């Protein structure tokens, strides 16, 4: 082999039961294996599992080797923060009330208008760098704080620029129906959305449309319309549903052809079988549930039903100012009663599937891109040492892009 690297002698290597899988129902998560072993990287790709003496050696003893984490739901890029809203939430003010008072999404839209492109990108790059140190090697970016035609297009172009400027690969989602902009009704804003799609498709890299269905935002009818628009343009459909209250949006999203339904904190148990039987993934966001003291999504029931389950940070300045996927795993394991394998499946292969990338990332399979994490302990420590960052090294496309100080010695032979 030419430029191969062998991560040798790990105590655990997380592998799929079948290297070619592109998604896996959560009910089969225990089929993932965690045996001791090696991982061989050739150039930018995973090559195999037996260290070859001709490769540059990285001593992985005592470490777990897992695929790079895929954060498939973030609201990067955004401008500023909204810490004062958190104090209001702690004092008991509901999110809907904060939003009606001009906080919430509108406040971040205002900050985005005020910020220069350079300022927005600098803040967002710093957050992507922090996510990288916590193991995020692929991320989704959304618009949604534009709240005008020009603003949404600018946000999408900023998302494209961000992905060009960070080590992570990623996708861009056009969250064109996030809040109803001033001067519009939901229906008249949806007309604007329809009118801007030519520009979205031709000028930006957006590969999905998204919508927030809630009493303070858009309706199930708007969701169906967004689904038709996505279908016409060959874009995926994502949907924020059942977050703050139930609107029966899960079957509507399935009918609209959604790739994923995200949040689900308030979804009725009776909608689970239809979701499990569909192609649509359940993206759970326990960071938003925790910060907002929201209902807890039926994570255990969804997993047992055979649905494809996914975890993400929902990184945004309002409901989830959370960057760390290991922290999200810790919340999911405790609050949904999930195993560590379930949490890892939900933040690797299945998350990559939501982004349409599971042919190339999300698993340590030969031929997939070598996005790999070295963890400082067995995977059982991810949820258990809640708040500790277990990531010792991050490899993207076969290249070490971050190595924690106390693990540099392992990489003596492989200078980043
Ligand atoms: O995913 N729910 C709607 N959108 C975001 C929150 C946006 C914000 O508060 O800025 C979410 O939670
Ligand atoms: Fe979100």
- Tens of pLDDT, residue by residue over 372-383, are 999 999 999 999
Residue spans of alpha helices (H) in 256-285: 272-277
What's this model's pTM, rounded to 2 decimal places? Answer: 0.98
Residue 415: pLDDT above 80? no
Of ligand 1's listed atoms, the one at least distance from the Cα of 217 is: 3
Q: State how far Cα 265 lies from the chain centre.
A: 17
Q: For the chain, percent helix, then strand, then coil, each to nearest 5?
A: 40, 25, 40
> What integer is the mean pLDDT of 162-168?
98
Q: Is the pLDDT of residue 416 over 60?
A: no
Can you tell me which atom of ligand 1 is nearest the CA of 314?
1
pLDDT digits (tens, 9 = 90+) for 300-344: 999 999 999 999 999 999 999 999 999 999 999 999 999 999 999
Q: Which atom of ligand 1 is nearest to the CA of 243?
A: 2
Q: What is the pLDDT of residues 22-66, one digit of tens each?
A: 999 999 999 999 999 999 999 999 999 999 899 999 999 999 999
Q: If you average pLDDT over every residue of the chain, what do you get?
A: 97
Q: How confident is the model at residue 96 (pLDDT cuts 50, 70, 90)?
A: confident
Pocket, ligand 1, Cβ cutoff 6 A: 104-105, 108, 212, 240, 243, 288, 314, 316-319
Q: How far is 349 from 69, CA to CA, in rounded Å? A: 9
Q: Give strand pairing partners of 138.
A: 70, 169
Best CA proximity match to 338, nearest among 295, 368, 377, 298: 298
**Distance from residue 363's CA to the centre of ligand 1 (Å):** 29
Percent of the chain with pLDDT over 70: 99
Among protein residues, the one whose CA lies closest to atom 5 of ligand 1: 319
- Residue whose CA lies nearest to ligand 1 atom number 11: 319
At 66, list the tokens: 């897992």
Task: Measure the CA–CA gap between 67 and 371, rounded to whole angstroms.
Answer: 6
Euclidean distance between the first and the last CA atom of the chain, given in angstroms as a whole number = 19
Is residue 163 predicted with pLDDT exceeding 70? yes
Strand 64-67 versus strand 372-375 pairing type: antiparallel
pLDDT at 351: 99
Q: Does 1 have pLDDT greater than 80?
A: no
| CATH (one of 3.40.50.300, 3.20.20.140, 3.40.120.10, 3.30.2130.10) for 70-354 | 3.20.20.140
> What distance in angstroms lies between residue 318's CA and the mean position of ligand 1's atoms?
6
CB proximity list for 286: less than 8 A, separation 6 or greater? 296, 297, 299, 311, 328, 331, 332, 335, 336
Q: Tell me how far apart the alpha carbons of residues 152 and 175 are, in angstroms, rounded to a whole number.
A: 8
Rounded CA-CA distance 315/286 in Å is 11
Give the 3-state secondary structure of residue 136: strand
What's the CA gap between 51 and 61, in Å, rounded? 13
Q: Ligand 1 centre from 302 Cα, in Å?
A: 22
Nearest atom, ligand 1, residue 317 CA: 10
User: According to the model, what pLDDT value does residue 414 have?
Assistant: 87
Residues comprising the chain, all counted: 416
Beta-strand relationship, 169-177 and 64-67: unpaired
Separation of CA 316 and ligand 1 centre (Å): 7
Q: Which ligand is nearest to the CA of 98?
A: 1
Delimit the CATH 2.30.40.10 region(s) of the chain: 4-24+31-67+362-411
Residue whose CB lies within 8 A of the most ligand 1 atoms, among 144, 266, 316, for a mutation test: 316
Ligand 1 probe mutation, 80, 155, 240, most atoms within 8 A of CB:
240
Q: Provide the Cα torsion 46, 51, 57, 58; round to 10°.
A: 70
The mean pLDDT value for 192-212 works out to: 98
Can you read off the two tokens belonging to residue 388? Answer: 């500790």
SS (H, E, C) 112-133: HHHCCHHHHHHHHHHHHHHHHH
Mean per-residue pLDDT, 114-124:
98
Taking CA atoms only, the protein residue closest to ligand 1 atom 3 is 212
pLDDT recorded at residue 2: 57
Give the closest residue to 155 by CA, choosing from 182, 180, 174, 136: 174
Domain with CATH 3.20.20.140 in the chain: 70-354
R_g of the chain computed on alpha carbons: 21
CATH, domain range 4-24+31-67+362-411 = 2.30.40.10
């Amino acid at each position: 082999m030419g430029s191969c690297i062998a991560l040798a002698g790990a105590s655990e290597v997380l592998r799929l039961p079948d290297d070619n899988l592109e998604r896996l129902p959560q009910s089969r998560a225990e089929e993932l294996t965690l045996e001791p072993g090696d991982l061989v990287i050739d150039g930018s790709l995973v090559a195999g599992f037996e260290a070859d003496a001709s490769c540059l050696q990285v001593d992985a003893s005592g470490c777990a080797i897992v695929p790079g984490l895929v954060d498939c739901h973030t609201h990067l890029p955004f401008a500023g923060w909204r810490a004062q809203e958190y104090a209001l939430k702690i004092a008991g003010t509901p999110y809907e009330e904060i939003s009606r008072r001009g906080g919430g999404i509108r406040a971040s839209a205002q900050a985005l208008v005020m910020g220069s492109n350079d300022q927005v990108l600098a803040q967002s790059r710093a957050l992507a760098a922090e996510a990288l140190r916590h193991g995020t090697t692929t991320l989704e970016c959304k618009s949604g704080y534009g709240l005008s035609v020009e603003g949404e297009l600018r946000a999408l172009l900023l998302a494209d620029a961000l992905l060009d400027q960070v080590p992570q690969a990623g996708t861009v989602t056009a969250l064109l129906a996030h809040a109803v902009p001033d001067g519009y009704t939901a229906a008249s804003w949806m007309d604007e959305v329809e009118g801007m799609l030519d520009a979205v498709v031709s000028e930006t890299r957006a590969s999905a449309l998204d919508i927030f269905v809630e009493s303070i935002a858009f309706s199930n009818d708007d969701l169906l319309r967004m689904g038709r628009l996505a279908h016409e343009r060959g874009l995926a459909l994502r949907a924020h549903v059942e977050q703050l209250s139930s609107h029966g949006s899960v079957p509507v999203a399935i009918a609209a052809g959604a790739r994923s339904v995200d949040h689900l904190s308030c979804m009725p148990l009776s909608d689970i079988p239809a979701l499990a039987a569909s192609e649509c993934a359940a993206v759970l966001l326990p960071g938003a549930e925790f910060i907002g003291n929201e209902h807890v999504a039926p994570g255990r029931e969804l997993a047992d039903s055979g649905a494809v389950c996914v975890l993400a940070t929902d990184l945004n300045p309002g409901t989830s100012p959370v960057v760390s996927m290991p922290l999200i795993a810790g919340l999911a394991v405790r609050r949904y009663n999930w195993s560590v394998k379930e949490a890892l499946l939900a933040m690797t292969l299945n998350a990559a599937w939501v982004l349409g990338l599971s042919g190339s990332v999300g698993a340590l399979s030969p031929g997939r891109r070598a996005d790999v994490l070295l963890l400082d302990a067995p995977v059982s420590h991810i949820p258990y040492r809640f708040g500790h960052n277990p990531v010792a090294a991050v490899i993207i496309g076969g290249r070490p892009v971050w190595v924690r100080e106390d693990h540099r010695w392992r990489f003596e032979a492989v200078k980043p």
